């Protein structure tokens, strides 16, 4: 792999603009070569035999002397090239708070001299950009280390206070930089005095809603000093995760410095090779003497973090601590691809078998039997079809996110190296597809050949649902347990809204739920069909003709939007973004439209029809505008890309305009699923419902890509490459420690 591609692949995606622009500098070197060839061609055509060649040596000497005089004004960081004639002078000019590195090119009178001046000017800009970014990030790491040290002091004091037996062998209290420690020979009494002083103004941050309510209703815990061992263990887990995340930041920052130094070395060698000059030595000596190479703060912080982590979170087991801190890169397993291919092939074979069975045995010729099957059995299996389609769209999203370097694992907050790739998602989707199709074909086979077992036949879909649910909640470490529990946690946060702080995975999942209204309605049908015994005679009239069933169906359509509305309210109260109030009104408008449409269907009347139509139009326009402008960040008239964003990931702008048009069209299909318009002469009503619901899932899948692209670009604009880990302790004042 060429260095340029390898350099890009190893970048922190959110810091990409802060890295040295290697590709642009390569282009400038190519322009130097082109300009040189043009100059040589011009000099050859204009040369006269009787005219002596112009001497450049004297002008070069004058230029060198002038530049040396200019270089003498610089500070002691000046670097010279002693081998042969000088090509460049590199100097670091000290400003009020920083060093500005500049390169003086001494051969500007040569062929392509002006283009080489432009190259070194851009090279200096890139180097100063890298130095400035690195310094700012090192400063952030130092401040974060101070905060972690403060938190660690509190945890150690809390351990001493509670007389943790696991802690008796060690009693370090760390200073603000993990370096200074109180001597281990201090008496226990002195330690308890220090602990009491540290814990005076400390509160334990709690995220459990019940604990939050207790804390809000009770007096300050810090004044009474009542801390229990469970709270200490929870605080320890939080702080452990904070140390792991902080170590990861330090590793990425160290990699940033190394990669950029390597990039400057590569580009200077390429310059020397292309121009037959010897300028790399002088420039790289300056790079070696710069803060980028000489600073050891990151290395010291890494050593300190590892020492603290090993001693206080791994009981002195260095190999365990190193393994925990330094996650190995995730590798793709060939067996995943193999089994995915097998399951996909089996799925296609089962689809063909079902089609042939229906055609040969003429199962759909009987209109009455067909209606019974479509209204009673088809909705039971369509649940799994919706799930498979949603997973396929998610797998496609992951593929393109990875292709365009969208850091979806960081955005969603997955634990390192536990996120599922598109291959794993395809494996799960294809396996579920095989189970569903096998159950459907067995249902058809038993229904035809074993007439006496019709009741058993109808229980096949229910058995499949039970199997899927058991796998989803299986506590054993199989079938991607970490991801299953992550999903269950997000679902619980959605159900418990607004008791929990709303994070991106929570409201992203809630948005997915708004596109699965028909799936939830089919689950309602499951409960009615099997709970009331309708499966024994394959009759769904009692379910669908009940007013209670219709009211519950209305509530199911409203609940996902109600959850999103409450999430917006919680985010507004947390002070995240004032626009959440407008976002909440968007979901409220959808709820009003659904209710209005339902009343119109039940009672009819011109007034209700006008109300339903107007609320539907308002909700559709409102949702479409929010999709394009707020969620996707498009329709910016004054941007660098008219009517799009300033920064785009897709290579062609027409893709964004096409996506906007498709979103508007599919949004109208979404209104069909919500407002219950389902009439078509060429399709059975149940099949039309499934088709429209599938179109909404496809629209949501497309929405997911652009929504996360916009989130990624926002993170890039703010260089947010790491998740914010909640710290376990808060302080009423900052006087202690």
pLDDT band at 489 (very low <50, low <70, confident <90, very high): very high
Across 491-517, average pLDDT: 93
Q: Which residue has the higher pLDDT, 401 or 363?
A: 401
Give residue 670's pLDDT.
62
Residue 430 in contact with residue 344, Cβ under 8 Å? Answer: yes
Give residue 404's pLDDT.
92
**In 3D, which of 270, 288, 286 has the Cα closest to residue 104?**
286
Mean pLDDT of the chain, nearest integer: 81
Encoded tokens for 417: 């190296």
Among the listed ranges 357-371, 394-408, 688-702, 714-728, which one has the minimum average pLDDT value? Answer: 357-371
Among the listed ranges 166-175, 354-363, 407-416, 610-619, which one has the minimum average pLDDT value? Answer: 166-175
Q: What is the 3-state secondary structure (H, E, C) of 95-157?
A: CCCCEEEEEEECCCCCCCHHHHHHHHHHHHHHHHHHHHHHHHHHHHHHHHHHHHHHHHHHHHH
Burial class of residue 201 (count of CB atoms within 10 Å of its CB; 0-12, 13-18, 19+): middle
Cis peptide bond upstream of 733, omega within 30? no
Composition of the chain by helix, strand, coil, percent to 5: 70, 5, 25
pLDDT band at 97 (very low <50, low <70, confident <90, very high): low
The dihedrals phi and psi of 682, each to the nearest 5 degrees, come to: -95, -5
pLDDT band at 657 (very low <50, low <70, confident <90, very high): very high
pLDDT band at 255 (very low <50, low <70, confident <90, very high): very high
**In 3D, which of 482, 471, 483 has the Cα closest to residue 431?**
471
As a whole number of angstroms, the distance between CA 663 and CA 512 comes to 15
Across 32-46, average pLDDT: 73
Encoded tokens for 312: 């206080």
Among the listed ranges 199-208, 263-272, 326-335, which one has the minimum average pLDDT value? Answer: 199-208
Give residue 110's pLDDT.
67
Strand, helix or coil for residue 90 = strand
Give residue 561's pLDDT.
95
pLDDT band at 160 (very low <50, low <70, confident <90, very high): confident
DSSP string, 388-427: HHHHHHHHHHHHHHHHTT--HHHHHTPPTT-S--HHHHHH
Q: Which residue has the higher pLDDT, 182 or 548?
A: 548
Strand, helix or coil for residue 181 = strand
pLDDT above 60: residue 185: no
Please give the biggest Cα pair distance in the chain: 113
Give residue 569's pLDDT.
94
Across 675-702, average pLDDT: 80
User: What does each C-alpha distance from 540 to 522, 530, 549 come to in angstroms?
Assistant: 12, 10, 11
Interhelix angle 422-449/460-472, nearest 10 degrees:
160
User: What does each C-alpha distance from 697 to 349, 493, 701 come to in angstroms?
Assistant: 25, 22, 6
Among the listed ranges 151-160, 406-415, 674-683, which one has the minimum average pLDDT value? Answer: 674-683
Q: Which residue has the higher pLDDT, 590 or 223?
A: 590
Confidence (pTM): 0.82
**In 3D, which of 617, 616, 615, 644 has the Cα closest to residue 632?**
644
Give residue 679's pLDDT.
58
pLDDT band at 465 (very low <50, low <70, confident <90, very high): very high
Q: What is the 3-state secondary structure (H, E, C) of 192-226?
A: HHHHHHHHHHEEECCCCHHHHHHHHHCCCHHHHCC
Q: Tens digit of pLDDT for each residue in 57-79? A: 444 443 443 343 333 333 434 44
pLDDT band at 360 (very low <50, low <70, confident <90, very high): confident
Give residue 134's pLDDT.
94
**In 3D, which of 267, 297, 296, 298 has the Cα closest to residue 283?**
267
pLDDT above 60: residue 734: no
**In 3D, which of 252, 658, 183, 420 has the Cα closest to residue 650?**
658
User: Which of the listed ranges 100-114, 179-193, 472-486, 657-671 does the model predict with the highest average pLDDT?
Assistant: 472-486
Among the listed ranges 133-142, 232-241, 702-711, which one has the minimum average pLDDT value? Answer: 232-241
Give residue 158's pLDDT.
83
pLDDT band at 575 (very low <50, low <70, confident <90, very high): confident
Encoded tokens for 282: 């002088």
Strand, helix or coil for residue 28 = helix
User: What does each C-alpha distance from 499 to 208, 298, 496, 567 come to in angstroms?
Assistant: 8, 39, 6, 10
**In 3D, which of 246, 240, 161 has the Cα closest to residue 197?**
161
Across 159-185, average pLDDT: 49
Encoded tokens for 426: 């395809």
**In 3D, which of 556, 583, 560, 555 has the Cα closest to residue 570?**
583
């Amino acid at each position: 792999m060429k260095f340029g591609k390898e350099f890009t692949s190893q970048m922190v995606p959110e810091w990409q603009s802060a890295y040295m622009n290697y590709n642009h500098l390569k282009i400038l070197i190519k322009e130097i070569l082109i300009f040189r060839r043009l100059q040589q061609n011009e000099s050859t055509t204009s040369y006269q035999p009787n005219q002596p060649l112009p001497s450049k040596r004297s002008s070069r000497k004058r230029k060198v002397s002038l530049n040396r005089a200019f270089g003498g004004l610089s500070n002691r960081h000046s670097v010279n090239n002693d081998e042969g004639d000088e090509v460049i002078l590199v100097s670091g000019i000290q400003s009020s708070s920083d060093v500005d590195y500049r390169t003086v090119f001494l051969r500007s009178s040569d062929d392509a001299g002006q283009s080489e001046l432009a190259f070194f000017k851009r090279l200096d800009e890139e180097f100063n950009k890298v130095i400035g970014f690195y310094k700012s990030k090192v400063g952030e790491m130092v401040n974060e280390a101070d905060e972690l040290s403060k938190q660690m002091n509190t945890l150690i004091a809390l351990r001493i206070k509670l007389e943790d037996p696991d802690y008796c062998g060690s009693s370090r209290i760390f200073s603000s930089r993990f370096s200074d420690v109180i001597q281990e020979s201090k008496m226990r009494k002195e330690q308890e005095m220090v602990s009491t002083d540290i814990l005076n103004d400390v509160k334990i941050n709690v995220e459990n809603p019940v604990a939050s309510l207790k804390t809000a209703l009770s007096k300050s815990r810090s004044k009474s000093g009542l801390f229990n061992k469970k709270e200490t263990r929870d605080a320890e887990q939080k702080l452990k995760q904070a140390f792991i995340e902080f170590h990861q930041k330090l590793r990425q920052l160290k990699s940033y410095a190394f990669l950029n130094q390597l990039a400057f070395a590569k580009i200077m060698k390429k310059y020397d090779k292309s121009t037959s000059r010897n300028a790399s030595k002088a420039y790289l000596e300056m790079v070696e003497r710069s803060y980028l190479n000489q600073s050891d703060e990151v290395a010291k912080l890494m050593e300190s973090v590892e020492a603290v982590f090993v001693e206080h979170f791994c009981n002195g087991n260095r190999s365990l601590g190193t393994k925990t801190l330094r996650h190995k890169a995730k590798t793709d397993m060939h067996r995943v691809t193999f089994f995915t291919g097998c399951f996909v092939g089996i799925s296609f074979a089962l689809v063909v078998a079902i089609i042939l069975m229906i055609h040969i045995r003429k199962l759909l010729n009987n209109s009455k039997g067909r209606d019974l099957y479509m209204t009673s059995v088809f909705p039971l299996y369509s649940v799994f079809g919706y799930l498979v389609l949603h997973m396929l769209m998610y797998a496609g999203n992951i593929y393109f996110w990875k292709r365009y370097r969208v850091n979806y694992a960081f955005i969603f907050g997955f634990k390192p190296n536990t996120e599922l790739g598109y291959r794993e998602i395809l494996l799960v989707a294809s396996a579920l597809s095989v189970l569903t199709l096998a159950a459907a074909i067995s249902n058809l086979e038993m229904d035809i050949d074993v007439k006496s077992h019709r009741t058993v036949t109808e229980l096949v879909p229910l058995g499949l649902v039970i199997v899927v649910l058991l796998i989803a909640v299986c506590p054993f470490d199989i079938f991607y347990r970490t991801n299953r529990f992550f999903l269950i946690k997000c679902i619980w946060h959605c159900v418990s809204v607004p008791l929990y702080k709303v994070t991106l995975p929570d409201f992203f999942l809630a948005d997915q739920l708004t596109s699965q209204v028909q799936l939830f309605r089919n689950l309602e049908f499951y409960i009615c069909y099997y709970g009331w015994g309708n499966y024994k005679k394959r009759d769904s009239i009692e379910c669908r003709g009940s007013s209670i069933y219709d009211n519950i169906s209305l509530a199911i359509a409203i609940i996902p939007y109600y959850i999103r509305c409450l999430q917006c309210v919680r985010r507004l109260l947390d002070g995240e973004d004032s626009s959440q109030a407008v976002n909440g009104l968007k979901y409220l408008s959808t709820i009003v439209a659904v209710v209005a449409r339902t009343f119109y269907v039940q009672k009819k009347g011109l007034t209700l029809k006008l109300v339903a139509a107007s609320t539907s139009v308002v909700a559709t326009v409102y949702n479409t505008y929010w999709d394009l402008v707020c969620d996707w960040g498009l329709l910016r008239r004054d941007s660098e890309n008219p009517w799009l964003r300033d920064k785009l990931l897709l290579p062609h702008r027409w893709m964004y305009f096409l996506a906007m048009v498709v979103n508007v069209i599919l949004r109208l299909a979404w209104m069909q699923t919500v407002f219950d318009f389902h009439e078509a002469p060429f399709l059975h009503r149940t099949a039309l419902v499934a088709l429209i619901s599938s179109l909404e899932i496809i629209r949501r899948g497309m929405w997911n890509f652009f929504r996360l692209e916009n989130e990624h670009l926002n993170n890039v604009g703010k260089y947010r490459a790491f998740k914010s880990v909640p710290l376990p302790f808060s302080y009423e004042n900052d006087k202690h420690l």
